[in-house]
């Protein structure tokens, strides 16, 4: 069998070589119809739009996306074409939670946020949002959880988040239709309704937050400061918004080695189950460099300001910074 794989998915090559010798690695953004025409399976990231334009007339039977989100998959077309697919829910939840913890600590250190007693509004409480709620509580914050599809006691509406939260963080998928569509969930109306001058964080999908509305809210002082990891029109992001935000990173909140290995293992497991193949065994993340002495400071393991400085210095390098991301571990192990 032939598998075409995004060449920026790390740690996966040895395992795939045990499944088949016919594996082709390509830049995700550059995958074209000719590249996948005779493939049996694809393993992709968000940069590959899997639709009829790419897959029409191909022999592809299965797609694994090594990501939580799957808005880059045209699921309607895949169903009509008889192409099965799998994503990796929760694979990088720990990594995003680490990013949030570090960002909150930095906002406290540099931007006047007092974590103890502050109110954290978490919009989207699935695998990632649930861990972010735990992070907030561990830092002494009051947590307001908003997840309209859940509709259970203990959850609040988005209007209450806007009114009461000191920090608002988004962890929803990007959807365009249905009763809970999330595109521009945080729009100009949302920012006009803010009851406080909150800090706003987006690590979900860029278009969940209307970037122009966020920029206006920052310039008008409605939002005190922002942390943005996901942007509209990636990789061609708004340079003015990048300059305005306290932390701006190139869509890497979920890019710990631990999260990437989780995605690798989930994608390979799904591939093997679909084709009834033996699983080559789990991939493990690489260790931290020899001599690393952890002091217990979470910022020692990960400081997102370092990623932000690199992006702000070279916004045109967004894709390269994302694709060649350095080793980051979630724990000292």
Q: Which of 127, 251, 322, 328 is catalytic?
A: 251
Q: Which of 127, 205, 322, 328 is catalytic?
A: 205
Query: Do 55 and 74 form a contact (C-beta atoms < 8 A)?
Result: no
- Asked if 310 is an active-site residue, the reply is no
- Alpha carbons 149 and 295: distance in angstroms, whole number: 41
Q: Which of 13, 234, 309, 310 is catalytic?
A: 234
- Asked if 251 is an active-site residue, the reply is yes
CA dihedral 145, 149, 150, 153 (to 10 degrees): 70
Name residue, tokens 């003015």.
Answer: 240
> How many other C-beta atoms can be found within 10 angstroms of the C-beta atom of residue 219?
12
- Asked if 127 is an active-site residue, the reply is no
Tokens of 309: 């400085």
- Alpha carbons 5 and 14: distance in angstroms, whole number: 13
Cis peptide leading into residue 235 (ω within 30°): yes
Helix spans in 209-303 (H): 211-220, 239-244, 257-275, 298-301
The CB-based long-range contact list for 140-148 (8 Å cut-off, 24+ gap) reads 140/115, 140/116, 141/104, 141/115, 141/116, 141/117, 141/167, 142/117, 142/118, 143/119, 144/119, 144/120, 146/121, 146/122, 147/123, 148/179, 148/180
- Alpha carbons 242 and 248: distance in angstroms, whole number: 6
The residues annotated as belonging to the active site are: 205, 234, 251
């Amino acid at each position: 069998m032939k598998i075409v794989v995004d060449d920026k998915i790390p740690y996966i090559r040895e395992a795939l070589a045990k499944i088949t010798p016919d594996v082709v690695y390509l830049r995700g953004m550059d995958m074209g119809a000719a590249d996948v025409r005779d493939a049996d399976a694809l393993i992709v990231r968000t940069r590959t739009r899997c639709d009829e334009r790419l897959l029409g007339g191909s022999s592809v039977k299965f797609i694994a996306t090594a990501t939580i989100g799957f808005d880059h998959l045209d699921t309607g077309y895949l169903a009509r074409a008889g192409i099965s697919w799998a994503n990796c829910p929760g694979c990088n939840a720990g990594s995003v939670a680490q990013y949030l913890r570090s960002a909150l600590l930095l906002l406290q250190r540099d931007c006047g946020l007092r974590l103890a007693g502050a109110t954290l509004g978490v919009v989207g409480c699935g695998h990632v949002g649930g861990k972010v709620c735990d992070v907030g509580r561990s830092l002494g914050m009051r947590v307001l959880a908003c997840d309209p599809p859940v509709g259970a006691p203990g959850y609040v509406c988005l209007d209450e988040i806007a009114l009461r939260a000191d920090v608002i963080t988004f962890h929803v998928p990007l959807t365009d239709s249905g009763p809970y569509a999330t595109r521009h969930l945080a729009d100009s109306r949302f920012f006009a309704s803010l009851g406080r001058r909150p800090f706003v964080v987006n690590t979900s999908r860029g278009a969940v937050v209307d970037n122009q509305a966020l920029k206006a809210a920052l310039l008008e002082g409605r939002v005190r400061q922002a942390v943005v990891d996901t942007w509209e029109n990636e990789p061609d992001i708004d340079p003015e918004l990048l300059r305005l935000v306290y932390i701006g990173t190139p869509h890497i909140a979920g890019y710990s080695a631990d999260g990437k290995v989780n995605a690798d293992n989930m994608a390979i497991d799904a591939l093997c189950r679909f084709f009834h193949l033996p699983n080559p065994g789990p991939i493990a993340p690489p260790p931290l460099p020899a001599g690393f002495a952890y002091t217990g400071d979470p910022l020692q393991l990960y400081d997102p300001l370092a990623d932000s400085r690199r992006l702000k210095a070279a916004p045109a390098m967004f894709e390269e910074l994302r694709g060649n991301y350095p080793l980051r571990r979630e724990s000292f192990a």
